[in-house]
A and B are shown apart, each in its own frame.
Chain A
Amino acid sequence: MTAPIKDFAKRSNGYRAAKWSEPVVMQMTGTGRRGVVFEDAPAPALPGKSARKAAPALPEVTEHDALRHYLHLSQMTLGMMGISLFGTCTMKYNPRIGERASLDHLRGLHPLQEAETLQGVLEMYDNFSDFLCEVSGMDQFVFQAGGGADAAYTHACVTRAYHASRGELQQRDQIITTIQTHPCSPATANTAGFEVITLSLEENGYPSIEQLKSVVGPRTAALMVNNPDDMGIYNPDIKEWVRIVHEAGGLCFYDHANFNGVMTRLRARELGFDACMYMLHKTFGAPKGGGGPAVGAYGCAEHLVPFLPGPVVVKDGGSYRLDADRPQSIGRVREFWGNAPQVLKAYAWARAMGAEGLREAADISVLSNNYMDWRLAQVRGVSRSNPGIDAPRMEMTRHSVEQVTEETGCSIFDISMRMTDFGIDALWLSHEPFLVPEPFTPEAGELWSKEDIDYWIDVLEHVIGEAYADPEIVKTAPHNAAIHQLTSALDEPDVWATTWRAYERKHRKQMAAE
């Protein structure tokens, strides 16, 4: 838990990030400096032209130079342990035991070993597929996709293979989605060659059945939607939507990115969906973002199983094998079996939680959001998306500081940056397009304590108070971070560089002058 903000000013001098004058590691070269020197290291015997003519341009630093360098860099970040209510991403604590377990159990394995020597990890894959089938009502899960968008792409490819197998692919060239569905659904549908039809929101906060009916027809290949959407509004017509699309011959895909509030409360298959996707790196407790690679677990009903990417783990009596002989499979969407360490961490998390734990977590995340919603309603200038709609909000809600911006000139970007001065990570704003002006979307999930949530909202309230009292403090923030504001350099392709080689190329003159 975090100390309340009233103690922040009293008991601390505030958050201050270290601001080291740290060179880029490529600039730290001192000729001949080394970490460990092997006197008699043999020169590798490389065939023909594969040996370098010149030594690679690597920094020459001692081991403790390197450690100090990266310690300083880490001190110049917020540390990834702050209060991050980063909506749509379902920030969770990643148990360290998961890291240990994946190291201990997977380090010595290679996916090209004979299956007889991989029985433990194959059993884990099979068990986890069963677990997610129980959660979703689907018949088979695969863990190859390297993230949520990759799983959406898997679905677009499965859709293509399914309709091709029925001789209807030429006719079914449209995928329907909604403006509040994650942009990866339309993007992957386009990539797979489909035309995308996006439905707009209407008075209830979601598109009407009439709007859906206006575009469903013989060209419909699939519906790809999330539910609830990022506003936290659950579309109660969803069963009817699925029925309408099925009647026209299309498939239905449930993007379960926003699954946290409905875990164990609904099954995608029972709503009629043919396939769904869970993000193991968000909902199922494996690290995300800077913490490690991702997994989009893709599950489907029996009629789509033949099209799944392979190989698929199959249980034969008491042993497991990899089935790669699948003539209708879409092939691979990722090398080997996807990010196996993440699958193991998510499996460990899910087994530790159990059905009861998932249900409790879902309920807490909805409760936390409704508490936040109630508190945010009392913060000056903050309004809620779809203000005229009294539908219950699930695990997150989009809010707006439009009124604060109108009255003080401080935008949500300014407010977010000022909150950094209190150790709060950048806010999650909104997916595109911004239907809500000056948006932010906090999501507490089941992790954050009431004290953490209160601290976060207290900071927001404090910063909005500053915006009204002295907007310059907010507009010029952050004041205590290692780097204050970005310059316009990010808009200038001739200036920015993400690699040392690009930096050398773009700044040659300046470097020569120095």
Chain B
Amino acid sequence: MSRLGLIINPVAGLGGAMGRKGSDETDIAQRATAEGRVSQAPHRAARALAAFRAQSDAPVLAGPVLPDGDAAQAFGPGALTQTAKDTLATVQAMQGQVDLILFAGGDGTARDICAANETGIPILGIPSGVKMQSGVFARSPERAGRLSAAFLADPRRRTEMVEILDLDEAARRDGRLSAQLYTVARTALDRQGARQNPKAGSTDPVGDLDAALAAYVAEMEPDTLYILGPGTTMKALKDRLGGGSLLGVDLAEGGRLTGIDLDDTALLARVRGRRVRVVLTVVGGQGFLLGRGNQQISSQVLRAAGLPPIDVICGAEKLAGLTPQELTIDTGDPTLDGTLAGYWPVITGAGRKQVVRVVA
């Protein structure tokens, strides 16, 4: 029998209203209590659960706190520490017990869950946090509930890989945005509606992208130094060149990788005097090209490389989901961002590009 795990982070979202730009500080719960603030996570989880219940009667194991209502049974540690440890303990207890972990929280919660999710159970986020840069979140609590039900009912349990990002809250409070790509996770593949309308399921995003990567590799120039950004799409490109890092920035030349997981200092040293191209994908759910998860490709690196051409590879489905229809760059160097802004052709398939407006 399929079972759903439901993680509710009781401090998720608290820091937003408190102007803390996140809820990762360890004493956030006490401070919120002192201010009389209540997390919306249990309420949003209840909304997702109601949508789930309309389509599934699978048992729901919930922890470390319960959602509003009585549609779930308590699971995980009884005594709570009011810290991230509660989430970690619950996720650990869920290993082997559930088929999907639905969670109410933000990027910080997603990171905690991934850290404790040793057997790689697919996860799906109910948007309830302050920061939600990761691609793991459904667009609304109801969508999260419905997608969970559809996933448990799907005999194939189809999943896709998404990036888990988080912002450095201390830097953000100082006015600097600095997102790190922490890991990737499996999530339920969202092909809602496809089953009822064979026409809507007729495209093959994975196949399109695979063909695009093959064509890209075939046309790589032998004397050019390629800076390859992070992310699952880029990892697939790196795999075609013999491996490489998922979360890091790598270098390739002459058809093979010649540098793995380099920081901006190492990149600076390597790009000088070379003909350079940069290859990126859109990271996370927010449509960022530069400045989120790939800060190693800094404005200094780009300037030292003589403002090289930048190729972007991204599936058309992902671009269609952008609202508004534009991508963003934030290198921390406003002049450079202004120079780079404009219309960029994004590689969406073999022989296919889509022009997307890029804004600073």
Name which residue of chain A comes closest to B316, CB basis.
Answer: A433
Which of these, B54, B140, B200, contacts A432 with CB under 8 Å?
B200
Q: How long is the Cα–Cα vector from A198 to B195 in the complex, in angstroms?
A: 28
**Is the contact region of chain B dominated by helix, strand, or loop, or is it mixed?**
mixed
Which of A200, A202, A486 has the most C-beta atoms of chain B within 10 angstroms of its own C-beta? A200
Q: Is the CB of A211 within 8 A of B197?
A: no
Question: Are B357 and A215 touching (Cβ within 8 A)?
Answer: no
A195, A411, A435, A471: the one contacting B353 at CB < 8 Å is A195
Known: A200-B354, A471-B54, A491-B156. A485 touches B196 (CB 8 A): yes
In the complex, A395→B199 CA distance in Å? 23
**Cβ–Cβ contact B156 & A198, under 8 A:** no
Contact B325 A202 (CB under 8 A): yes
A199 at the interface (CB under 8 A from B): yes
Within the complex, which residue of B146, B203, B355 is in contact with A214, where a contact is CB–CB below 8 Å?
B355
B195 & A486 in contact (Cβ 8 Å cutoff): yes
Residues of B within 8 A of A224 (CB): none
Q: Given A199-B355, A202-B357, A417-B196, A432–B343 Cβ distance below 8 Å?
A: no
Expressed in whole angstroms, the minimum distance between the Cβ of B283 and any Cβ of chain A is 19
Interface residues of A in 121-178 (CB under 8 A from B): none
A289 to B202, CA, bound (A): 19
Tell me whether A196 and B352 are in contact in the complex, defined as CB-CB below 8 angstroms, given that A214-B342, A406-B140, A409-B54 are known contacts.
yes
**Scoring B residues 118 to 157 as 1 if CB is less than 8 Å from chain A, else 0, what string do you get?**
0000000000000000000000101000100000001110
Could you say which residues of chain A place their CB within 8 Å of the CB of B342?
A: 214
Select A190's contact among B146, B198, B201, B352, beta carbons within 8 Å.
Answer: B352
Let me know if A225 is at the binding interface, CB within 8 A: no
Nearest CB of chain B from residue A193's CB, rounded to whole Å: 8
**Is A432 touching B355 in the complex (CB atoms < 8 A)?**
no
Q: Tell yes or no: A197 within 8 A of B by CB.
A: yes
How many residue pairs between the two chains, A and B, have CB atoms under 8 Å in the bound complex?
86
Residues on B with beta carbons closer than 8 Å to the beta carbon of A201: 325
Q: Which residue of B lies closest to A437 (CB)?
A: B139
Q: Mark B177-209, 1 if CB is under 8 A from A, else 0.
A: 000000000000000110111111111000000
Taking A413-B196, A429-B197 as given, write out 19 further A-B residue pairs in contact, using a Cβ cutoff of 8 Å, ordered by the A residue number.
A195-B353, A196-B351, A196-B352, A197-B354, A199-B354, A199-B355, A200-B355, A201-B325, A214-B342, A214-B343, A214-B355, A406-B140, A409-B146, A413-B197, A417-B196, A429-B199, A486-B196, A488-B154, A488-B155
B193→A196 contact, CB < 8 A: no
Chain A 259-302 interface 0/1 with B at a Cβ cutoff of 8 Å (1 = within): 00000000000000000000000000000000000000000000
Scan B235-277; emit 1 where CB is below 8 A from any A CB, else 0.
0000000000000000000000000000000000000000000
A356 within 8 A of B: no
Binary A-proximity of B323-348 (CB < 8 A = 1, otherwise 0)? 00100000000000000001101001
Are B345 and A488 in touch, CB under 8 angstroms?
Answer: no
- Residues of B bordering A, CB below 8 Å: 51, 54-55, 140, 142, 146, 154-156, 192-193, 195-203, 316-317, 319-320, 325, 342-343, 345, 348, 351-357
Across the two chains, which residue of chain B brings its CB closest to A193?
B351
Contact of A211 with B355 at beta-carbon distance under 8 Å, contacts A409-B146, A432-B200 already known: yes
Which residues in B have their C-beta under 8 angstroms from that of A491?
A: 156, 195, 201
User: CB-defined interface of A433-476 with B at 8 Å, one 1/0 digit per residue?
Assistant: 11100000000000000000000000000000000000100000
Query: In whole angstroms, how far apart are the Cα atoms of A194 and B156 in the complex?
Result: 37
Least CB separation from A201: chain B residue: B325
Give chain B residues whose Cβ lies under 8 Å from the Cβ of A214.
342-343, 355
**B-chain residues with CB within 8 Å of residue A486 when the two chains form the complex:** 195-196
Min distance, Cβ A409 to any Cβ of chain B, angstroms: 6
Q: Could you name 9 residue pairs across A and B whose Cβ atoms are closer than 8 Å? A: A186-B352, A200-B356, A406-B140, A417-B196, A429-B199, A433-B319, A435-B320, A435-B325, A488-B155
Shortest distance from the beta carbon of A490 to any chain B beta carbon, whole Å: 6
- Do the beta carbons of B317 and A433 come within 8 Å of each other? yes
Interface centre among A414, A432, A434, A486 (most CB of B within 10 A): A432
Tell whether A490 pairs with B354 under 8 Å between CB atoms, given A197-B345, A409-B142.
no
Q: Are A198 and B196 in contact (CB under 8 A)?
A: no
Does A179 make an interface contact (CB < 8 A)?
Answer: yes
Residues of A396-414 at the interface with B, using a CB-CB cut-off of 8 Å, are 406, 409, 411-414
B196–A195 CB distance below 8 A: no
State how many angstroms separate the Cβ of B56 from the closest Cβ of chain A.
12
Residue of A nearest to B352 (CB): A196
* Closest A-B pairs by Cβ, 5 of them: A433-B320, A214-B343, A413-B196, A198-B354, A195-B351
A210 touches B (CB below 8 Å): yes
Which single member of A414, A429, A434, A471 contacts B320 (CB below 8 Å)? A434
List of A residues within 8 angstroms of B355 by Cβ = 197-200, 207, 211, 214-215
Whether the Cβ atoms of A200 and B197 lie closer than 8 Å is no
Q: Which residue of B lies closest to A412 (CB)?
A: B193
Picked from A207, A215, A406, A490, the residue with its CB within 8 Å of the CB of B345 is A215
How distant is A178 from chain B, measured CB to nearest CB, in Å? 9
B353 adjacent to A490 (CB under 8 Å): no
Residues of A within 8 A of B202 (CB): 432
Interchain CB contact under 8 A, B193 and A179: no
Q: How far, in angstroms, from A201 to B140 measured CA to CA in the complex? A: 25
Closest to B321 in A: A433
Task: Give bound CA distance, A199 to B355, whole Å.
Answer: 5
Chain B positions within 8 Å of A490 at CB level:
195, 198
Given contacts A200-B356, A202-B325, A488-B154, contact A432 B203 (CB under 8 A): yes
Docked Cα-Cα span, A134 to B200, in Å, equals: 38
Q: Are B343 and A215 in contact (CB under 8 A)?
A: yes
A179 and B195 contact, CB distance less than 8 A:
no
Contacts of B142 in A (CB 8 A): 406, 409
What is the minimal beta-carbon distance from B141 to any residue of chain A, in angstroms? 10
The reply to whether A429 and B200 form a contact with Cβ atoms under 8 Å apart is: yes
Near B by CB (< 8 A), chain A positions 472-514 give: 485-486, 488, 490-491
The residues of A that contact B54 with a CB separation of less than 8 Å are 409, 471
Asked if A411 meets B352 with Cβ closer than 8 Å, knowing A210-B343, A434-B200, the reply is no
* Cα–Cα, bound, A417→B197 (Å): 11
Q: How far is B197's CA from A412's CA once the two chains are assembled, in angstroms?
A: 10
A201 to B356 alpha-carbon distance, docked (Å): 9
CB-CB under 8 A from B352, the residues of chain A are 186, 190, 195-196, 198
**Which residues on the B side are within 8 Å of A215 (C-beta)?**
343, 345, 355
**In chain B, what residue has the closest Cβ to A176?**
B355
Give CA–CA (A412, B325) in the complex, Å. 23
Choose among B198, B199, B200, B353 the residue that contacts A198 (Cβ–Cβ < 8 A).
B353
